[in-house]
Amino acid sequence: MKYLLDISDLNQNDFFEILDQADELNMQNEAILSKKSIGLIFEKYSTRTRLSFQVGIRQLQGNPIDIKFEELNLQRIETFNDTFKIFGCYLDALVFRTDNHEKLQKALECFNKPIINALSDKSHPCQIISDIFTLREHFKKIDNISICWLGDLNNVLFSLVEAMSFLPKTSLNIFTDENLFNNSKFKKINKASNINFFFDLEQKIIKETDCIMTDVYSSMNDEVKLDKEKILKRFQINDKIMDYTKNECVFMHCLPAKIDSEVTQSVLSSSKSIVLHQAKNRLVAQKGILKWLEI
Ligand code: CP
Ligand code: NVA
């Protein structure tokens, strides 16, 4: 049985198969989810992930079922385990956004059918599959592309770091605060040789990069009590930073953005920003993921 809780649930072949299938389904939809019902459970806010899955499932002729947590007997007397076992009686797959990655693992054991992590405190694999798809589409290649991430060490970055092991010729330079790094799980992970951490801006690296990427300083499941607005302020993506970059460099952000925190409005709406196309590609990538799962 296939599932996608983390990028590390894939191997390199799976990863590229998803990207290629997304490409194909972008040109022509197939009825691969005909007669399949897929539950969508969002314990946290979502705009892009929820909508792109709802529309993507329909485009593949499947039936998306919105499950409202607050309406379940789980809120009253039923256990989490029994709830997910019951889901397995009716549904063929689940898309699940949660505040705690362990719930995804527990849900998988009880549901015993494909589950897609639609974002957790730990990771956001669907976002990164989509973002690598967008980069490959934009630059017509993914080898010899350099990505600079500036800001927080969060779930989206965690999935990007995992994906880098499938992209040995792509480089990832992460600019963040040293104290934040020392108190994060990123200090302990076995990083691939194509990933580097920096605690000060390096103009030379910014000048050569193909992509500047960031995300909010406080994620929805964030429990870090540090004043990240203050300590990450020097990594804000503003016109000054974008002015260092070469003409072909793009700006990416998974959205939603907090304007004037990690990024300014002028960068978000600048000609280098591809955030809207990036968001649009979530639909394309979700379909690649759904096909790969063989639901
Ligand atoms: N990027 C992303 O996952 O957006 P939503 O939180 O709106 O789904
Ligand atoms: N890191 C952000 C991503 C939102 C799509 C969060 O978890 O809130």
pLDDT in tens, 69-92: 889 999 999 999 999 999 999 999
Do 288 and 236 share a structural domain?
no
pLDDT in tens, 232-274: 999 999 999 999 999 999 999 999 999 999 999 999 999 999 9
Instruction: Give 190's pLDDT tier (boundaries 50, 70, 90).
Output: confident
Query: Model's pTM, two decimal places?
Result: 0.98
Q: Whose CA is nearest to atom 3 of ligand 2?
A: 219
CA 256 – ligand 2 centroid, Å: 8
Q: Could you give the number of structural domains in the chain? A: 2
Flag whether 34 is in a domain: yes
Which of 49, 126, 157, 220 has the most ligand 2 atoms within 8 A of CB, as the residue to mutate? 220
Instruction: Give 61's pLDDT tier (boundaries 50, 70, 90).
Output: very high
Do 52 and 37 share a structural domain?
yes
CB crowding 33-50: b at 16 or more within 10 Å, else e: beebebbbbbbbebebbb
Mean pLDDT score, 36-53? 98
pLDDT attached to residue 189: 83
Residue 170, pLDDT > 90, answer yes
Do 273 and 211 share a structural domain?
yes
Mean pLDDT score, 37-59? 98
Does ligand 2 have an atom closer than 6 angstroms to the CB of 219? yes
Q: Quick one: which ligand is closest to 254's CA?
A: 1
Q: What are 1's two structure tokens? A: 């049985």
pLDDT attached to residue 249: 98
pLDDT attached to residue 226: 84
Q: Which domain holds residue 43?
A: 7-123+282-293
pLDDT attached to residue 136: 98
Residue 224, pLDDT > 90, answer no
CATH of residue 157's domain is 3.40.50.1370
Do 146 and 114 share a structural domain?
no
Determine the distance from the C-alpha atom of residue 150 to the mean position of all C-alpha atoms in its chain, rounded to a whole number: 16
Residue 179, pLDDT > 90, answer yes
Flag whether 1 is in a domain: no
Q: Whose CA is nearest to atom 8 of ligand 2?
A: 219
* Average pLDDT score, the chain: 97
Do 161 and 78 share a structural domain?
no
Q: Quick one: which ligand is closest to 42's CA?
A: 1
Handedness of CA 239, 243, 248, 253 (dihedral sign): negative
Do 61 and 94 share a structural domain?
yes
Cα angle: 140, vertex 56, 51; to 5 degrees: 105
